[in-house]
Amino acid sequence: MHMEDKKQFDFDIFKRVLKLAMPYKGILFFCAFLAAVLAPITVIRPYLIKVMVDKYIFKSDVEGMIYMACLIFGILIINVILRYLFIYYTNWMGQSVIRDLRVRVFNHITSLKLRYFDTTAIGTSTTRTINDIETINSIFTQGVITIIADLLTLVAVLVIMTITSWKLTLICLTTAPFLILATYIFKEKVKASYQVVRSQIQKMNAFLQERISGMKIVQIFNAEQQQMQTFKEINREYTQANLNSIFYYAIFFPVVEIISATALGLMVWWGAKGVISGDVSLGALIAFPLFLSLLFRPIRLLADKFNTLQMGLVAAGRVFDLLDLDDKIKDTGTNVVDKLVGDIQFENVHFAYNDKDFVLKDINFRLEESQTLAIVGSTGSGKSTIINILNRFYELNEGTIKIGNQDISNITIESLRSRISIVLQDVFLFSGSVYENISLKNPDIPMEAVVTASKMIGAHEFIEKLPGGYNYEVMERGATLSMGQRQLISFVRALVFNPDILILDEATSSIDPETEGVIQYAIEKLISKTTSIIIAHRLSTIKHADKIMVLDNGRILEFGSHQELLNKKHGHYKSLYEMQFIDVA
């Protein structure tokens, strides 16, 4: 059941949210104390006005009037100061809690298996990290503490009203059943509309993120109008959801004003007769409109604040569902390695992304240290999967992977991945400088190391020509750079971490011949001192590899050197090679 479907107040979620504030429990208790103090201070002023009218004004006691005026003014100043502290610190606590929660959620997301990102829209994760967490802030700023403050104020107002005149209090409360009914209907209607609004926000975020990321495809296929129509529909639904909630506000607040005016009219009508008969003092008649204002204002806002609290809990439930998602690689390894030394061995490895459709089936091979393995095969044969499980992006279903006779599951994930560098075909560059994209803001990688690696790979010359050189600001995904330039930067990024194992996943497939020549030289220079795995469609880039593995449908068809595989009469590799290199007249 989704959080949105829950009808009752979720105390379990509420307790978890309050636990988030425990690092700031001093501020939490201080805000609760302020709420308790503000309630009597807020309602004491109308009572003092009543006293001032009855005891001093009609007796022409000027000294007493001045004293009461100063007392009322002093209480007003104290009320303003305490109200400022209450608003400031409830907001400060809310912002502090969601600041910590954002870090926690982001850290959790970065630790999830790649399978989560394969099946979850990025817009959904963005909504959880931004919109939903921001909504949780309202639990502290407009929710639980302010609701407690308003409830205390209501109790204090009713007590003072009763002390002042219980008869006038009963007259004013004759409209209370209508107010309670209107408040309940409003709360339920707005709650339902808010749930639709939250769902539409998530839907819109997911749509926008996906379409903006894929804008190039949209424009290539002239799909702007179709996408615009879809967006208009989503936008219309989102707007309508907001208008529905606004409609209920537009109905509720005038209804409350009518009920409030009715209560005031009854009070004046009966109170005036009471003043004439002597049952009610004139001071009480003057003070009661102020009491009514203090009584109806929190009631009018309580329903809205309770809905805010409910929506904050719904958002918190979504965030907690994400935090409770235990879809992580279990880092059971205890060995921290500074260097990966030895052969890479796959022993009876089976793997499936969905635990039933196996992508790799009984994979067995050995790559000696400092050798280069090239993997070839058709799309979907399992080439990239071998890289994914070697880096422990996914867990094996069966079998063992060893490096230097050490099971990689015994090595901590952080130290394993820190010794492996990967260059992908689809290069991802972040917004930031070239230097930041290469070093990934690692403080242990100085500019000198980046320049040295760039010179080795042949990228230094083109980077120096950029405006600002290594400080050139790369736009998101490297949109202002060519594919070849992006690929060169990704190679420098791989090299600068000084890996023990280098993986090239079709890294040269999208590069022009001139750039490929530069990279090929650097690759050959680099792989001579590292254990390397190369995935490539262009067989020209791998014929110097020590070993070549041919995959088909998740199984190893052939394994050997370039020449060994060519010597096979009807070998699969030989067929691939002849298709690419035999000249056609």
Dist CA 295 CA 264 (whole Å): 11
- 352: tokens are 């499936």
CATH number of 332-419+501-507+531-585: 3.40.50.300
Dist CA 475 CA 466 (whole Å): 13
Residue 331 zone, left/alpha/beta (φ > 0; ψ -120 to 50; rest) = beta
Rg (CA), the chain: 35
Domain residue spans of the chain? 3-323, 332-419+501-507+531-585, 426-498
Task: Rounding to the nearest 10 degrees, give the CA dihedral for residues 210, 212, 213, 216.
Answer: 120
The secondary structure element, H or E, covering residue 111 is: helix 62-111
Sign of CA dihedral 175, 180, 183, 184: negative
For the chain, report the end-to-end CA distance as a whole number of angstroms.
66
Dist CA 98 CA 102 (whole Å): 6
Residue 449 CB burial class (10 angstroms; 0-12, 13-18, ≥19): middle
Over residues 472-525, the pLDDT tens digits come to: 888 777 777 877 788 888 888 888 888 889 888 876 665 666 666 766 766 776
Angle of the 282-323 helix axis to the 11-20 helix axis, nearest 10: 90
Check residue 581 and give its pLDDT. Answer: 66
Distances (CA, A) of 69 to 75, 147, 235, 287, 288: 10, 31, 55, 15, 18
Dist CA 320 CA 314 (whole Å): 10
- Fold match between 3-323 and 426-498? no
- 197: tokens are 């609004």
Sign of CA dihedral 169, 172, 177, 179: negative
- Residue 302 near residue 155, CB atoms below 8 Å: no
Check residue 516 and give its pLDDT. Answer: 66
Check residue 6 and give its pLDDT. Answer: 46
Dist CA 124 CA 101 (whole Å): 17
Dist CA 294 CA 155 (whole Å): 11
Check residue 362 and give its pLDDT. Answer: 92
CA angle 276, 279, 280 (to 5 degrees): 80
Check residue 549 and give its pLDDT. Answer: 93
Dist CA 531 CA 527 (whole Å): 7
Check residue 2 and give its pLDDT. Answer: 43
Check residue 508 and give its pLDDT. Answer: 64
CATH number of 426-498: 3.40.50.300
Options 3.30.70.660, 1.10.3470.10, 1.10.1840.10, 1.20.1560.10; CATH for 3-323 is: 1.20.1560.10
Name residues of the chain where pLDDT drops below 70: 1-9, 507-516, 518-519, 521-522, 525-526, 540, 581-585
Check residue 583 and give its pLDDT. Answer: 47
Distances (CA, A) of 507 to 31, 111, 510, 575: 57, 26, 7, 23
Check residue 7 and give its pLDDT. Answer: 46
What sections of 391-471 are H helices per DSSP?
413-418, 434-439, 447-457, 460-465
- 125: tokens are 């994760």
Check residue 527 and give its pLDDT. Answer: 73
Which residues have CB under 8 Å from 451's CB, separation 6+? 460, 470
Check residue 77 and give its pLDDT. Answer: 94
Q: What single DSSP character describes residue 429?
A: -
Main-chain dihedrals φ then ψ at residue 270, nearest 5 degrees: -75, -35
Over residues 193-210, the pLDDT tens digits come to: 877 887 788 788 888 877
